Structure 1
Amino acid sequence: MTGEWHHPTSAILSSLNDSTASSDHQREREREGRVPTSQAMAASAARKRSSSKPSPQPQIFEETPKPSDPISSSNEKFSLPPPKLGLVSLISLLSFLPFFYLLFFHYDIDPELRKSILINAAMSFGGFVAAVRLIPVASRYVLKRNLFGYDINKKGTPQGAVKVPESLGIVIGIVYLVVAITFQYFNFTSDSNWLVEYNAALVSICFMILLGFIDDVLDVPWRIKLLLPSFAALPLLMAYAGHTTIIIPKPLIQYVGVSVLDLGWIYKLYMFLLAIFCTNSINIHAGLNGLEVGQTVVIASAIMIHNVMQIGASTDPEHSQAHAFSIYLVQPLLATSLALLSYNWYPSSVFVGDTYTYFAGMAMAVVGILGHFSETLMLFFLPQVLNFLYSCPQLLKIIPCPRHRLPKFDPQTGLLTGTKDGTLVNLFLRLFGRCSENALCIRLLIFQALSCLFCFWLRYVLAGWYK
């Protein structure tokens, strides 16, 4: 046999990049009659012998196209609407003005403690600026990875068909941790008594951010959602070295027999349950543009004011330091949440996801536990307590619980109608009538603010009599 016959597979094995060219060259030779006659005769005989059994076809490997860079994809022209900084500026004024008035003018606070609070406030403002700039960047990436959702309360309108970036709470959580960790350099020494608990608090918050993001990606069932905060609370419980005593209310001292009662492990169990409740209560009381972040902003503002009032009225350095510790953790939460609110307020251009609700709930539980004002914290959470109690029949599967317990939206009028689902959102619609999503969110946030004011009033009325 004269000449040399090259099988296409040999060309492929020699070079992947030349495989297509080699096979094309072989076919061109056959078409032009340049293949030797002996080879053609041998090939014909081989085809006759294997007519009943088709010969295997050589595999031709094609180079898999590389995925395009997230930024140079079809989302290249994607851009978020500008943040609603005017609204955020007004809310910031209402939040920080009473706080700074009490800090500088109303109370005589130790200058060193005041300096630390101001450093923390300045770093928190830096976190606000960083979060505002990072949210649009992160939105492009989560869209590329198909982490988006549709606004159910706008279904049937053009806005209801827009892909809204989801899980932007991960940005807020990361910025918060960076600010809180960096602040240690300016305030704590290596032998500080508060450093261990401070780091334990940050570990619990970080753990909760991770679990929240996992929930956003994997869509964890409700029965598992309720358990996630229990894992995140473990670092805080293990590192907690504070007291486990409670002050008995004065009217009950004659029945208990003591004014201060040491609960021991029962107090830690209470801390454990408080962390689970606060985390899940923010996640359950949701479903409207701006509601999750808005309630966090209101509660965080109340926590800051309560802490500075306790510092100003206290003569115990350890008591003052505990409330300052709470301020160090809640100021970055408030600042970064305001940045997220500027994009999440109606009409929302990003969704916060379970990452944010878990993170915010755990952060406020931590400051309440380590600041030793868990009773006051529960009063700040009064709407969340009512919503949880109202939701229990559905959460416990006593009555059917749909996936989304949201009101019905009428695309013709743009109004929401309450359903029979056990949420405060639906209850407000049934009690006060149909309204727009924005108006409903404002009503719920006003109720949240009134609950916080009721807490301050109740503490003022009961002061000296209750405890």
Structure 2
Amino acid sequence: MNPLLLVAFPISSFITYWLTIKWIAVSRRANFVGKDLNKPGNPLVSEMGGIPVIGGLLSGFLYYVALNTFLFHQDTYNVYIFGALSTALLMFIIGLMDDILGWKIGLSKLQKPLLTIPAAIPMMVINAGHSTVALPFLGVVDFGLVYPLLLVPIGIVGAANAFNMLAGYNGLECGMGIIIVSTISAVCYMTGSSWVALLGGITISALIAFLRFNWFPAKIFPGNAFTYMIGALIATLSIFGNVEKLALILFIPYYLDFLLPLRKKMNVEAYAKVNPDGSLELPYDGVYDVTHLVIKALKKVKQRVYEREVVSTILFIEIIIAIFGVVLYL
């Protein structure tokens, strides 16, 4: 890999960092703020963190394309990169609409995933990925045209909406994104898909820069534009690198986060009940979210549980799952 390509990492990181600082100031003046419901007093925090992150991602990806076009004269992967960017941008726009209008017009839990379906079209029309897929328990399966026309949109829409579910705690979405994308990128690099690993590295660089402001106590929330976009990018990287089996393993916490609220017909929130000292309690009698499950588990070993501990525990569990996934995949 040419060292010049690695410059895309600091470009993505710097642009994200700089834009986040600017957006925090702008969002406060424009009243794009929301209550931090896991803090005493519910302090106001800047919202729609997907805006600076998409800026960093665009900068890094387009730098990569520019080098391919003008310096290396190798445009083999450019169409795939633009396919990924198109899907990410469409998901970003849909998420931004949800951030701005969703609470006003009352989008239902069914309408939201349906709105994300068009974002998968760019990846469908470029016939992204490999129709031969290695799946857990099933082995290698060749899906033919079913892969780009059905499985690709299902994967992208599913990943985007799943990634949007396990959320609401400082640093959780961004931290999970870093772990998942890092794992996929590492495996892609080890299996010869270095160009996919480079796209993953650009994404990781943007996420790390954003985490500086999203970690406890958060100065900015990611928002739906962030979660839809990163979830879709995770799917596209998995498709490009032919590591769908690994992605399915990495999303284990999200399957659980989907199943738990079904007992309440999805009419629950992930937010905890906050004590005056900042410690957290279960908001319901039962457990209806992965965060609730972690709070209950931590309560077994310590008297007071705090938001930072809940997030750190979930991230640690995801790292264990990632290690297991890599060992199983390789």
TM-score, normalised by the number of residues in structure 1: 0.64
Partner of 1:236: 123
Aligned counterparts, 1:263-412, within 5 A = 263-266=144-147, 268-311=149-192, 323-394=193-264, 399=265, 401-402=267-268, 404-411=269-276
> Shift of residue 267 of structure 1?
5.5
Give the distance between the partners of 1:152 and 1:292, measured in 2 at CA: 16
How far the C-alpha of 1:326 sits from its partner, in A, is 1.4
Give the Cα separation in 2 of the matches to 1:142 and 1:152: 19
Distance 1:242 1:151, change over 3 A: closer
Q: Letter of the 1:203 partner, please give it.
A: S
Q: Is 2:312 aligned against 1:447?
A: no
How many Å apart are 1:240 and its aligned residue? 1.4
Aligned-residue offset at 1:232: 0.7
- The aligned counterpart of 1:192 is 75
Q: Secondary structure at the match of 1:167?
A: coil
**1:168 corresponds to which letter in structure 2?**
G
CA shift in 2, pair 1:190/1:426, >3 Å: same
Q: CA deviation at 1:266?
A: 4.8
CA contact (8 A) 1:245 1:267 kept: no
Asked whether the 8 Å contact 1:383–1:451 carries over to 2, the reply is no
**SS of match in other structure, 1:287:** coil
Q: Aligned pair 1:414/2:278, yes or no?
A: yes
Letter in 2 for 1:198: I
Other structure's SS at 1:164 match: strand
* 1:125 is the counterpart of 2:10: yes
Task: Give distance in 2, aligned partners of 1:335 and 1:212.
Answer: 21
Determine if the alignment matches structure 1 residue 218 to structure 2 residue 101: yes
Would the alpha carbon gap of residues 248 and 423 (structure 1) be closer, same or farther in structure 2, given more than 3 Å must change? closer
SS in 2 for 1:444: helix
User: How far apart in 2 are the matches of 1:330 and 1:147?
Assistant: 29
SS of match in other structure, 2:87: helix
Partner residue in 1 for 2:142: 261
**Which residue in the other structure is 1:465 paired with?**
none
For 1:119 and 1:209, locate their aligned partners in 2 and report how far apart those are by CA, in whole Å.
Answer: 28
- 2:53/2:207 contact within 8 Å kept: yes
Q: In angstroms, what is the RMSD of aligned CA positions?
A: 2.3
Aligned-pair CA distance for 1:191: 7.2
Indicate yes or no: 2:31 matched with 1:167: no
Deviations 1:19-69 (A, max 9, x none): xxxxxxxxxxxxxxxxxxxxxxxxxxxxxxxxxxxxxxxxxxxxxxxxxxx
Pick from 21, 37, 55 the counterpart of residue 152 of structure 1. Answer: 37
SS at match of 2:168: coil
Change beyond 3 A, Cα 1:164–1:241: closer
CA distance in 2, matches of 1:122, 1:436: 38
Deviation by residue 1:362-386 (Cα, 9 ceiling, x = unmatched): 1111111121111111112222222
8 Å CA contact 2:182, 2:204 repeated in 1: yes
C-alpha displacement of 1:234? 1.0
Asked whether the 8 Å contact 1:407–1:426 carries over to 2, the reply is yes
Q: Report the secondary structure of 1:227's partner residue.
A: helix
**SS of equivalent residue, structure 1 residue 222:** coil
Could you tell me whether the CA contact under 8 Å between 1:197 and 1:240 is conserved in 2?
no
Structure 1 Cα separation of the partners of residues 270 and 173 of structure 2: 15
C-alpha distance in 1 between matches for 2:243 and 2:210: 27
Match of 1:424 in 2: 290
Render the CA deviation track for 1:217-274: whole Å, top value 9, x for unaligned: 102432222223211111111111554233588x978xxxxx7634422553122111
Alignment partners' CA distance in 1, 2:128 and 2:206: 29
Aligned to 2:91: 208
CA contact (8 A) 1:281 1:361 kept: yes
Q: Where do residues 3-152 of structure 1 align in structure 2 (5 Å cutoff)?
A: 114-115=1-2, 118-152=3-37
Determine what percentage of the aligned residue pairs are the same residue: 24
Q: If you compute each CA radius of gyration, which structure gives the higher value, 1 or 2? A: 1
Q: 1:148 touches 1:165 (CA, 8 Å); kept in 2? A: yes
Q: Which segment is superposed worse, 221-230 or 434-443?
A: 221-230
Partner deviation per Cα, 1:287-334 (whole Å, 9 max, x = no partner):
1110010100111111121112112xxxxxxxxxxx223113211110
Partner Cα separation in structure 2 for residue 282 and residue 216 of structure 1: 15
Measure how far apart 1:405 and its partner are.
2.8
Q: Does the residue aligned with 2:38 lie in a helix, a strand or coil?
A: helix
The CA distance in 2 between the partners of 1:195 and 1:186, in whole Å, is 10
More displaced stretch, 163-172 vs 385-394: 385-394
Q: Which amino acid aligns with 1:407?
A: A
Contact kept, 8 Å, 2:127 with 2:148, in 1: the verdict is: no
2:27–2:46 CA contact under 8 A, matched in 1: yes
Equivalent AA in structure 2 for residue 165 of structure 1:
S
The amino acid that maps onto 1:432 is: L
User: Displacement of 1:339 after TM fit?
Assistant: 0.8
Q: Which runs of 5+ in 1 are unaligned?
A: 1-113, 254-258, 312-322, 461-467
TM-score by length of 2: 0.89
Task: Count how many residue pairs are aligned between Structure 1 and Structure 2.
Answer: 318
**Preserved contact between residue 92 and residue 229 of structure 2 (Cα < 8 Å):** yes
Cα shift at 1:178:
2.1
